[in-house]
Amino acid sequence: MSRLLSQNLKRLRQEKNLTQEEAAEKLGVTPQTISRWECNTTLPDVMLLPEIAKLYCVTVDDLFREQNVAYENYAQRLASVYEDSRDPEDFMRCIAEFEKLFKTGKNSSDDRRMYGIMHQYMMEYCRDKALETFDNLIGEYDANRDEVYWMTIRQRLWLLTQTGKISEGVEKQLERVRNTPAEPQEWICLIQAYCDAEQNEEAYDCFLKAKTRFPEEALIYVYGGDLCKKQGKIEEAFEYWDKALELDEDVCDVIWSKGFYYEENGRWQEAYETWSGLAEKYRKDGFTIEMQEPLKRADECLRHIKEV
């Protein structure tokens, strides 16, 4: 094992085009020490192995393998580790090393390409993990369909949209509505699926049918208001938004919709009052993190008001 280590140390140094003097300077040892390692006269201190591995752009394990390659840099070696393992911890190590490399300015176009690929692999992992988690949760709660269950259904639909599986989400939700047409939440999820797919005509038609079937469901009117806004039917949009708040004063989605509308149309005073009210509502309910965004928007509206 020690002879293999010494052979690797010599070969890896040469592959990196470093002299013994240059390697010694980077590792804080003497050239004689480097020579003794490579001649198998002495072994490196175990605490120095990580620094040696990083210098030669390999892992510590690579130093003891019969076959290994000196990568262009240590970040690329860690990228190869993550590509093989797909372990999130290896991803974090790899990305941290790339970001350190970028700060030095000594990176290549291939480094940036690999950096993007690592995030692509992690995105795939996160997508699959999210779907697995949602599906397990939906299965567990199927017999007891509470608020969390329906929120999970809607989040899963949004994830399908984000990952280019829009048609799959719509078709699946249509099937669910056909199977349980008396469940208002299934209709709400279908409206969202259409909205996510930007099938606004289908979404609006679904909304009209749903509000006739379930006139006391606040969330249906939230979607109705948003769809009317997209169609330029502003009076109708406010009518539905107000109806949603009348049915359930805690439907914050309506307040967000109103605030965005006021901002988009330069109605800064009304936008300011809307965002301030939403922030105060969050504060009273104990959501101190959630209140920060409406507070920022209120401040921005106040700046516009003062400029007028």
- What is the domain partition of the chain in residue ranges? 1-70, 252-308
Average pLDDT along the chain = 92
Tens of pLDDT along 258-293?
999 999 999 999 999 999 999 999 999 999 999 999
The single-letter DSSP state of residue 106 is: -
CB of 52 within 8 A of CB of 44?
A: yes
Higher pLDDT, 234 or 70: 234
Distance CA 63, CA 41 (A): 17
- Which one-letter amino acid corresponds to residue 226? D
CB of 6 within 8 A of CB of 37?
A: yes
pLDDT of residue 158: 93
pLDDT of residue 152: 96
Q: What's the pLDDT band for 68 if we cut at 50, 70, 90?
A: low
pLDDT of residue 22: 92
Would the pLDDT of 25 be above 90? yes
pLDDT of residue 220: 97
pLDDT of residue 200: 94
Least confident of 66-80, 178-192, 218-232, 258-272: 66-80
CATH 1.10.260.40 fits 1-70, yes or no: yes
Q: Where are the alpha helices (DSSP H) in the chain?
A: 2-15, 20-27, 31-38, 49-55, 74-85, 88-104, 109-141, 147-162, 166-179, 184-196, 200-213, 218-230, 234-247, 252-264, 268-284, 292-307
Tens of pLDDT along 219-263?
999 999 999 999 999 999 999 999 999 999 999 999 999 999 999
Tens of pLDDT along 84-93?
889 999 999 8
Would the pLDDT of 34 be above 70? yes
The number of beta carbons lying within 10 Å of the beta carbon of residue 271 is 25
Would the pLDDT of 137 be above 60? yes
pLDDT of residue 252: 94
Give mean pLDDT, residues 73-91: 89
